[in-house]
Amino acid sequence: MTEIQKIFASFMYWGEAFAAIISLIYYNRVKKQPWKYLAIYLIVIFLCESAVKWGEKPLKIDRINFYNYFVIPLQFIFFYWLYAKESLKKVKLFYVLTGIYILTYILRGLFFPEKKVVFSFNYNVGCLLLMGLVIMEFYKQVNSSEILNFSKNRMFYINLGITLFYIANQPFMTFNSLLWKYIDIWDIYFIYFQVSGAVMYILFASSFIWGKQSS
């Protein structure tokens, strides 16, 4: 890592830590609502990142397989559930998107067997599906009678966070190896990746702090 990469490398991790702490604090307030699963999700993600950050060698964690076959699929499938089933109330859409995403692993195993830190094919498809849900959610919010009370809508914070991180970073994940040849550009995008990740998790935490209990 370059010096600038080292400075920003932990930004997202501490954003995850903040979100996990807020989730623990607010869990009792949402434990009878579907939002409890967001709290659990944020805690699990932080524990996963902590396991890799502090225990990769002593626990003999295979970072590549751990992320590609557990952490990243968990993230996408959870957000498909949160958007499609819980917010948009389209249960069938959740199953369709999840099925398509899982299918990408089968296709990748057959046609793209090389080992990478992030499976770009799976990630790209996962992001495109998530992007569709983000657009649908924005449309729902803009056309809602509660548009003026957007600051009380938990999905507003989540949608904004997803847009800033997953959607905006898709080119970085897609062309990562190509950008590596232009280290100055790579550094800039890496900084954005870390900072936007931290901002996303802070926005997730904000959804508990400022979002209304019934949203």
Tens digit of each residue's pLDDT, the chain (215 residues): 667 777 777 889 999 999 999 999 999 999 999 999 999 999 999 999 999 999 999 999 999 899 999 999 999 999 999 999 999 999 999 999 999 999 999 888 777 666 555 668 889 999 999 999 999 999 999 998 878 788 889 999 999 999 999 999 998 888 887 888 888 888 889 999 999 999 999 999 999 999 875 44
Distance, CA of 46 to CA of 129 (rounded, Å): 24
Which pair of tokens denotes residue 215? 């949203």
Question: Would you tell me how many other CB atoms lie within 10 Å of the CB of residue 201?
Answer: 26
* Domains of the chain (ranges, CATH numbers): 3-210 (1.20.1070)
* Amino acid found at 26: Y
Distance, CA of 48 to CA of 16 (rounded, Å): 10
- For the entire predicted model, the pTM comes to 0.91
